[in-house]
Amino acid sequence: MTRALVVGSYSLLLVAATWEIVARSGVVPFFFLPPLSVIGWTFATQVADGLLVHEAAVTVFRAVSGFALAVVGGVALGIGMARFKSVRWFFDPIVAVGLSVPTLTLVPAFILWFGIDHLSKILLVALSSVWSVTVSTYNGARHVDRRLVWSARAMGTAEGKLLWKVVIPAATPYIFNGMQVALPISLIVAFVFEMVAGGGGLGFLEIMAARFFKAPDLYAALFAILLVGVALDRILRLIRSRVLVWLRE
Amino acid sequence: MIGQTRIAAAASALAPIAALLAGWEILTRTGLVSTQVLPRFSSVGVAAVDLAVSGTLGQHLVVSLYRALGGLALSLVAGVLLGFAMATSRPAERFFDPLVSLLYPLPKTALVPLTMVWLGVTDKAAILVIFLAGLLPIVVNTYHGVRSVDRVLIWSARSLGTSERRLLRRVVIPASLPYIWNGLRIALPISFIVVISVELVASKVGIGNLINGYGSLGVYDYMFATILLFVAVAFVADRVTVGLGRRLLRWHAETEAS
């Protein structure tokens, strides 16, 4: 078991060892590449004194709130587009634009409209990630087995119940696909907004470390960001598998 | 006939966008939304024309596109090579797979401050982040593309005496092209997102810098004009990639259908 793990990840160990040796040898300046052990120490200290944990919580709060808004809005919009022709006509071109353009260009506009605190960040995260949820919900709702809908209607199921009992469960795997695309977008927008506008968070911490050439702090923040990215991705996958199993039963 | 239906479809698709813009103009003209917060669409339009005619837009757009497409070109070359290597060589796969899986969930814009420290506020730093951000989607897609090549095709080509090199050129590369193109299509918007991030955070030129500059000076009609123009450029770039992919890979769609 341990052997398989070492063999499976030997490249990571190799990269880590090379990093440590190169950094210690002094070939590259300290602020370009501090030794991995120094970064590890900085990371551990900053986790222990609560700095990284607190800033990570701030970023996660912003990213997840915006993401949640995007999921609610995207599912509603996607279902609306699948159900009503007029909604589809109106939003089709808007979704096509929203899906393919960099919404980060709106950072200065959102600062103007909603200030530099949580609200502007949460709203831009939502606006950036809503489109992929919308598209996948729409695709899912369109692919619901027609016969299921017919037979439910024939048995006198009300429209509202049909939505909750048939359409949404059938579209759920698609909705999760959209969420898995939207999650990294949420994080990217949250981090960049923090770098530009400040107001705490891991993005802010990282850019300040870069501005003051505190290399170990910069890398520690980067590792924290990587961990947040991995953790949220894993959590979403876990929820997905739980929900899908539960739906099948 | 076909031309007419196409025009009708385009008009029907443009109508909602036009309605939004008209709503914008009405809200700001009636004073429901203060022009301090949102300049009128008409004044943004005037600013957009001025930006385009005076050459300011072009000057910054060239820098942003150079960075975005330069980085993307590098990630395409390196990503395809790496993807091929990982799909065809077991040791290469063993070596790179843990690295790819470790770095895949990293939001790549987090590398902006790092490249800023390494290379300063330069084009090179911007291109490096864009290269890194676009690399993984292309590696992963190329890998899956090469892996998906029909085994039977390879066996029959080999049994007919096709040389390994010819096999690569005539069978493996064509069969994995749709996947590589898909990777490129994922990486293109990423490169636009990252170039804007770099230019908002640390740059003296480029579209992101221009938007930020107008924003901090309070010249909001020009700020919104720049945003709209760049959004239009990004949208057209995406459409062109999709259209080009359809045209180039038409034979693939046909083989899928048959």
Contact assignment for A90 to B16 by CB distance below 8 Å: yes
- Cβ of residue A85 closer than 8 Å to a chain B Cβ: no
What is the arithmetic mean of pLDDT over A92-120?
Answer: 90
- Spatial distance between the Cα atoms of A58 and B200, rounded to a whole number of angstroms: 21
- pLDDT at residue A4 tops 70: no
The encoded tokens of residue B136 equal 């993984």
Average of per-residue pLDDT values in chain B: 88
Q: What's CA A201's distance to the chain center, in Å?
A: 15
Is A18 within a domain? no
Contact assignment for B96 to A11 by CB distance below 8 Å: yes
Residue % of chain A over a pLDDT of 90: 57
Suggest the residue from B93, B96, B109, B184 to mutate for an interface test with chain A (most A CBs closer than 10 A): B109
- pLDDT at residue B258 tops 50: no
DSSP chain B: -HHHHHHHHHHHHHHHHHHHHHHHHHHHHTTSS-TTTS--HHHHHHHHHHHHHHSHHHHHHHHHHHHHHHHHHHHHHHHHHHHHHHHH-HHHHHHHHHHHHHHTTS-GGGGHHHHHHHH-SSHHHHHHHHHHHHHHHHHHHHHHHHHTS-HHHHHHHHHTT--HHHHIIIIIHHHHHHHHHHHHHHHHHHHHHHHHHHHHHS-SSSHHHHHHHHHHHT-HHHHHHHHHHHHHHHHHHHHHHHHHHHHHTHHHHHHHH-
What is the arithmetic mean of pLDDT over A98-109?
Answer: 90
pLDDT greater at residue A152 or residue B60: B60
Is A206 within a domain? yes
Is A17 within a domain? no
* Domain range for A66: 34-248
Question: Tens of pLDDT along A46-73?
Answer: 999 989 999 999 999 999 999 999 999 9
* Amino acid residing at B211: I
Q: How far is B167 from chain A, CA to nearest CA, in Å?
A: 31
Residue given tokens 């949220």 in the structure block: A232
Is A25 within a domain? no
For B234, which residue in chain A has the nearest alpha carbon?
A101
Contact assignment for A97 to B192 by CB distance below 8 Å: no
Q: How far is B252 from chain A, CA to nearest CA, in Å?
A: 23
- Cβ of residue A117 closer than 8 Å to a chain B Cβ: no
User: Domain count of chain A?
Assistant: 1
pLDDT greater at residue A21 or residue A31: A21
Question: Tens of pLDDT along B156-184?
Answer: 888 887 777 787 777 888 888 889 998 99
pLDDT, residue B79, reads: 95
pLDDT, residue A125, reads: 96
- pLDDT at residue B63 tops 80: yes
Question: Which chain A residues are Cβ-neighbours of B214 within 8 angstroms?
Answer: 108
pLDDT, residue B255, reads: 47
ipTM for the predicted complex comes to 0.86
Q: Packing angle between helix B207-217 and helix B173-201, nearest 10 degrees? A: 30
pLDDT, residue B148, reads: 83
For A210, which residue in chain B has the nearest alpha carbon?
B113
CATH code of the domain covering residue A169: 1.10.3720.10
Is A16 within a domain? no
pLDDT, residue B253, reads: 54
State the CATH architecture for B65-202+240-257: Orthogonal Bundle (1.10)
The sign of the torsion formed by the CA atoms of A56, A62, A65, A71 equals negative
Contact assignment for B216 to A108 by CB distance below 8 Å: yes
- Cβ of residue A63 closer than 8 Å to a chain B Cβ: no
Select the residue of A91, A101, A192 nearest B235 (Cβ to Cβ). A101
**Of how many residues is chain B composed?**
258
Rg (CA), chain A: 23
Greatest C-alpha distance within chain A = 77
Suggest the residue from B57, B106, B191 to mutate for an interface test with chain A (most A CBs closer than 10 A): B106
What are the residue boundaries of the structural domains of chain B, listed by start? Answer: 65-202+240-257
Contact assignment for B211 to A91 by CB distance below 8 Å: no
- pLDDT at residue B257 tops 50: no
